[in-house]
Amino acid sequence: MTHVPRAELLQQLDGADSDSARVVDTESMTVGLKRYREGPANEKGLREHTDDELYYILDGSGTIAVGDAVHSVAPGDVLYVEKGTSHDVQEVDEALTVLKVLAE
């Protein structure tokens, strides 16, 4: 079992050299934090992954495209992206901090 308090998660992100920090990395699951800065966030465009993804919005607000739909997100929101589904963070109104879970 792994228990990581929210404050420690955010400290890991603040101490990272990039806008992301890996929290858990096992054979079947990866959990990480990602921070998206305000403004247009569509750096890479829509993309697909080979793993299912779960996004839990910790802080901030913006829009995330999943397939043909665009969702406004705010703290406490959860998005599930099935593997092979095109998705991307499109616009960040207030810096987004997202807990991302990738699972096979």
pLDDT of residue 42: 58
pTM, two decimals, is 0.85
- Residues of the chain short of pLDDT 50, as ranges, are none
pLDDT of residue 20: 85
Q: Which residues, listed in sequence order, are joined to residue 102 by a DSSP beta bridge?
A: 30, 53
pLDDT of residue 7: 85
Determine whether domain 6-103 maps to CATH 2.40.40.20: no
